A and B are shown apart, each in its own frame.
Chain A
Amino acid sequence: MRPRRIAPAILALALLAAAGSALAQVTPAASFDAALKAAQDNDQLVVVDFYADW
């Protein structure tokens, strides 16, 4: 059967560590709900990374 192509998964922490100054203000949240609350409280945006383990 045709091999399944798997998109490279993202390692968020490595990504944040590697990212440049524009991301200095990006704050990781423990959960989606926590991120939304933080965004509401501080009038911010949330970047959500939808991923899977495979």
Chain B
Amino acid sequence: MVFAKVNTEKGKGPDISGTYGIKALPTFVVVNGDGEVTDRWIGYNGPEAWTESVRKAKADPRTIAAKRAAFDRQPTADLAACLANDAACDFDYQGAVNYFRQARNLDPARAEEFTEQILTNMYYGARSKAFSFDEVATEADLALALPGATPEQKENLAAMVSGMARSMGSPEKAIPYIKAALKDDPGTDGPSDTRLSLMVESALLIEHDEAKAVSLRKQLLPEGWQEDPDQLNSFAWWCFQNKVNLAEAEKLAQHGAEIAPDDASRANILDTAAEISAALGKHDEALAQAKQAAQLDPDKDYFQQQVDRFTSEAAGGSGAD
């Protein structure tokens, strides 16, 4: 096995990436000496998972086309999983889920592994509305019912379902999964970041305690976040999304814009500040910030659209979504 790295933005990288249809980073593509694809997958989940993926790729050097033909003749769980990962590389999450479901039917002993993959693909597919929440819930319930689901797995599942429920505009639908995950003991090492994020969701959705949610959310920020523009933007944006702590968020976003390292980054944070100002009813301020963002990054159409929107709002229109 030979290992090569291709920087998708430098040298021959863009051409090679185009040849192999790279859509997400990192993507790993296994090719034979003729450059034909034999396996591919998106993402890096640690050395053990990566090693296992490489081992499987090595064990079956047939091309994807040959594997697809073989699967049609005589399906196996490994072939289904390979074809599922191939579909996911094309952002065909429905296809990926279908293949992983077939893999689970073909090898029920690996139900846990394939159910996790199904949920992961649903998570990404949820952004493009490829799945309904009911479909997600069916799979999540299957995962929870698997024997030996650990507290950590329940937390990961709840975090995933919570993210999907939010992206579908119905965060409250994740409540049963958040409750199920938080019912377990957090262990002696204190809550993990995943658990903390679920506690934030619980404070918002179940306890309706905004101050607690903000306090817990701050615990998720790294040391020195008050002087880190990306972290300031991230936290301020979270406040805006949840319509909590807006007065502090406004100041933090403004500070983030002041210390941003470059114009593009400053424009991004100013856009956050503009959204917060608008949410606080300060429409003139929001418009000024949006205009500044558009001046700093004139190539980004989005910022000009924001100027138009805030102009309308400042004039008393209803340009907001």
Contacts and interface: CB of A to CB of B under 8 A. Distances in A.
Contact of A15 (B6, B12, B34, B47): B47
Interface of B: 1-10, 12-13, 16-17, 20, 22, 24-35, 38, 43-44, 47-48, 50-51, 54-55, 57-58, 61, 230, 233-234, 237, 267-269, 271-272, 302
Given A15-B47, A27-B1, A32-B16, A47 B54 contact: yes
Contacts of B10: 53
Interface string A5-45: 00111101001101110110111110111111011110111
Q: Which DSSP category, helix, strand, loop or mixed, fits chain A's interface? A: mixed
A22 B13 CA distance: 28
23 contacts: A1-B267, A3-B234, A7-B26, A10-B44, A12-B3, A20-B48, A23-B1, A26-B3, A27-B2, A28-B3, A32-B6, A35-B2, A44-B2, A46-B4, A46-B31, A47-B4, A47-B29, A48-B16, A48-B28, A50-B8, A50-B29, A51-B6, A52-B7
B271 A1 contact: yes
Contacts of A18: 47
B8 A20 contact: no
A20 to B, nearest CB: 5
Interface residues of A, number: 41
A15 B272 CA distance: 37
B46 to A, nearest CB: 9
Contact of B27 (A3, A40, A50): A50
Given A10-B26, A47-B28, A22 B54 contact: yes
A3 B237 contact: yes
A18 B44 CA distance: 14
B8 A51 contact: yes
A9 B29 CA distance: 16
